[in-house]
Amino acid sequence: MVKFDSDYSMTINGESVFTENCLPAYNPATKEIIAQVPNCSREQLDFTVSAARRAFKLWSAININERQAAVAALGQAVEDHAEEFMALLTREQGKPRAGAEWEVYGSAIWLKAIATQSLHDELILENAERRVVTRFTPVGVVGAIVPWNFPLLLAVWKIAPALVAGCTVVVKPSSNTPLCDLKIAELGKEIFPPGVLNCLSGGEGLGKWMTAHPDINKIAFTGSTESGRHIMKSCSDTIKRCTLELGGNDPAIVLPDVDPKVVAPKLFWAAFTNTAQFCNATKRLYIHEAVYDDVRDALLQFIKEHVKVGNGADPDTTIGPINNAQQYEKVKEYFKDCRDNNFKFAVGGEIDESSPGWFIPVTLVDNPPESSRIVKEEPFGPILPLLKWTDEADVIARANDTYFGLGASVWGKDLEALKRIGAQLEAGTVWLNEIHQYSPDQAFGGHKQSGLGCENSLHGLMEYTNWQTVTLNKVPLSTP
Ligand code: NAD
């Protein structure tokens, strides 16, 4: 019986492993230590990778139906423990109930859906003389490195396809949010053979040892572009495969024909879901000048009526805290920069540092210059620049003027205009009159410095495989 409020152990080769030396886990709404988790040593990583490599032989050889059934069973186990996962997720990550529901049930749905996917051999040529087939063989041991904003879902986005493809996995959660990932791996002990699904918690060194490890064949990473750069460099030493899901600075373009009151709630959540700690949050809101004031005022009204920043465990809370002290300090810099440059706050702007948790008020910056840090960088916190536009070509150029290319959205009544503008945006996902619609069947990834490769869909599954082309000469060999 898995206990969710204690006994946080690593899962290594089917065993629960504790360490003497531990690391604290915090509740961001109170800054209290809520758990101690193991601090994985280098020897423990090596042992885990050897176990995963041994398990790979067996796991990759069994019928895919068995692997799919096991992954679906993990989805069912998450669903069966949804209440415990949601409470734990709120405690370690800070997100309110609605966000925890989305993530936990989403994780169960994803596991079950990815468990229905499979890759088929491609018959390239078949005639009397030759047969040529391309197969998809599992890549080997996968290191899954996970961030703190969606710790369970983004682990599942890696675990599910890797296991279905026939790989074995070593998950490394962020040290800011290790608890749910340790527990999902513990549930996996009842489902998978030893060594197939492992989870290690640790400090700064652990991720780096993984990316450099000669017996890990692929790194599946979600995190910042800065870390992605280091990871790609480290993977290059062993020509490790890597999938990188990185940062974003997603623009939203609002056309002049919108109804401000109707669109405002959607734009609000586009930007502030998960306290704006969301790779795909709208981080630049370009509003046509004809409706700029009305959309801004409708956003202010919505915030006044519907937004309550607080402890995610409180049922009235709609926006939780920032997840950790480091991120809190980083977001504060953007507030200071806006103040130092005399940018106007339409709402928010003042952080009460005496509050019990890492809380930051929802803040709108009223039309700062395009060159400002708040427009050019990814704050990853609840501060959003509202920007005016007049000319379509100009706003598209501004939207694309970034080294990021994760997501983008366009909002308006004129569907032709939506499609025309959307087609010109440089981003892995372009949403038209909606946002944050994901699916296990939809490829998700970033253009430019927002990533490499993709997750989800058969394209995402393929990322856990090597192509192998097998050619057969059917003509009996004869001496020349
Ligand atoms: P982060 O890059 O600091 O850390 C992510 C994970 O990588 C953590 O587990 C961390 O311990 C590990 N890590 C960091 N440096 C490493 C290194 N050099 N070698 C190996 N492992 C290393 O990111 P974060 O602060 O946890 O998450 C926020 C960032 O993630 C934001 O930039 C956000 O946009 C991005 N993100 C992207 C997506 C996406 O799908 N594209 C989704 C969520 C978050």
Taking the centre of ligand 1 as the mean of its atom positions, its distance from the CA of residue 397, in whole angstroms, is 28
Positions marked active-site: 245, 279
Q: Cα–Cα distance between 348 and 345 in angstroms, integer?
A: 6
Mean pLDDT computed over 188-215: 98
Atom of ligand 1 nearest to the CA of 380: 31
Mean pLDDT (whole number) for 171-185: 98
Exposure class string for 9-21: b at 16+ Cβ within 10 A, else e: bbbbbbebbebee
pLDDT above 90 for 431: yes
Residue 450 CA, closest ligand 1 atom number: 41
DSSP secondary-structure letter at 476?
Answer: P
Alpha carbons 11 and 201: distance in angstroms, whole number: 10
pLDDT for the residue 430: 98
- Contact call for residues 117 and 164 (beta carbons, < 8 A): yes
Q: Residue of the nearest CA to atom 39 in ligand 1?
A: 245
Residue nearest to atom 6 of ligand 1 (CA): 147
Distance CA 376, CA 379 (A): 9
The answer to whether the predicted template modeling score (pTM) of the entire model surpasses 0.95 is yes
Q: Nearest to residue 84, comparing CAs of 154, 2, 158, 147?
A: 2
- Measured in Å, residue 414 CA sits from the centre of ligand 1 at 37
Question: In angstroms, what is the span from residue 244 Cα to ligand 1's centroid?
Answer: 10
Q: Which two tokens stand for residue 72?
A: 């679906």
Residue at 355: amino acid letter: S
Start-end of H helices in 81-150 = 82-93, 97-114
Of ligand 1's listed atoms, the one at least distance from the Cα of 444 is 40
**What's the rounded Cα separation, in Å, for the pair 249 and 402?**
8
pLDDT in tens, 59-72: 999 999 999 999 99
Distance 261 CA to ligand 1 centre (A): 35
62 Ramachandran zone, left/alpha/beta (phi>0; psi -120 to 50): beta
Burial (0-12, 13-18, 19+ Cβ within 10 Å), 1: exposed
Angle between helices 97-114 and 82-93 (to 10 degrees): 120
Q: Which residues contact 409 (CB under 8 A, 6 or more apart)?
A: 250, 251, 252, 253, 270, 282, 430, 431, 432, 434, 435
Q: How confident is the model at residue 378 (pLDDT cuts 50, 70, 90)?
A: very high
Token code pair at residue 400: 């694309």
Å from CA of 227 to ligand 1 middle:
6
Q: Which atom of ligand 1 is nearest to the CA of 175?
A: 11
Q: Residues near 458 by Cβ (< 8 Å), separated by ≥ 6?
A: 117, 119
Cα 312 to chain center, whole Å? 20
Q: Rounded mean pLDDT of the chain?
A: 98
Asked if residue 169 lies in contact with residue 204, where contact means CB atoms within 8 angstroms, the answer is no
Pocket test for ligand 1, best of 224, 240, 402, 448 (most atoms within 8 A of CB): 224
Query: Would you state the pLDDT for residue 209?
Result: 98
To test ligand 1's pocket by mutation, which of 93, 146, 149, 234 has the most ligand atoms within 8 angstroms of CB? 149
C-alpha distances in angstroms, 438 versus 109, 153, 280?
A: 12, 12, 11
120: number of Cβ within 10 Å:
8
Q: Which atom of ligand 1 is nearest to the CA of 150?
A: 43
CA-nearest of 94, 116, 185, 102 to 146 is 185
Element holding 229 (H helix, E strand): helix 225-236
Q: How many residues does the chain have?
A: 480
Residue 480 has pLDDT above 90, yes or no: no
Q: List the residue whose alpha carbon is closest to atom 43 of ligand 1.
A: 279
Q: Give the separation between CA 404 and CA 307, rounded to whole angstroms.
A: 29
CB 213 within 8 A of CB 53: no
- The residue behind tokens 């980083």 is 330
pLDDT of residue 239: 97
- Residue 42 pLDDT: 98
Q: Which long-range contacts (CB under 8 A, 24 or more apart) does 62-65 make?
A: 64/118, 64/164, 64/166
- Reported as a pLDDT band with limits 50, 70 and 90, residue 385 is very high
User: What pLDDT was estimated at residue 4?
Assistant: 98
Q: Helix and strand tally (H, E) in the chain?
A: 15, 20
- How far away, in angstroms, is 358 Cα from ligand 1 center? 19
**Residue 273: helix, strand or coil by DSSP?**
helix
Give the Å distance between the CA of 479 and the centre of ligand 1. Answer: 59
Residue located nearest, by CA, to atom 1 of ligand 1: 223
What is the structure's pLDDT at 158?
Answer: 99
Distance (Å, whole) CA 5 – CA 7: 7
Whether pLDDT at 458 is above 90: yes
pLDDT above 90 for 479: no
Nearest to 19 by CA among 178, 147, 218, 209: 178
**Residues flanking ligand 1, CB < 6 Å:** 145-149, 154, 172, 174-175, 207-208, 211, 222-224, 227, 230-231, 245-248, 279, 378, 380, 406, 446, 451
Cβ atoms of 228 and 451 closer than 8 Å: yes
Q: Which residue has a Cα nearest atom 15 of ligand 1?
A: 227
Using most ligand atoms within 8 A of CB, pick from 39, 45, 95, 145 the residue to mutate for ligand 1: 145
Q: pLDDT tens, 80-138? A: 999 999 999 999 999 999 999 999 999 999 999 999 999 999 999 999 999 999 999 99
Q: State the number of CA atoms in the 13 A half-sphere of 41 facing the CB.
A: 8
Q: Whose CA is nearest to atom 20 of ligand 1?
A: 207
pLDDT of amino acid 76: 98
Residues 279 and 248: beta-carbon distance below 8 Å:
yes
Over residues 293-345, the pLDDT tens digits come to 999 999 999 999 999 999 999 999 999 999 999 999 999 999 999 999 999 99
From 181, 277, 279, the mutation candidate for ligand 1 (largest count of ligand atoms within 8 A of CB) is 279
- Percentage of residues of the chain with pLDDT beyond 70: 100
Residue 144 CA, ligand 1 centroid: distance in Å = 11
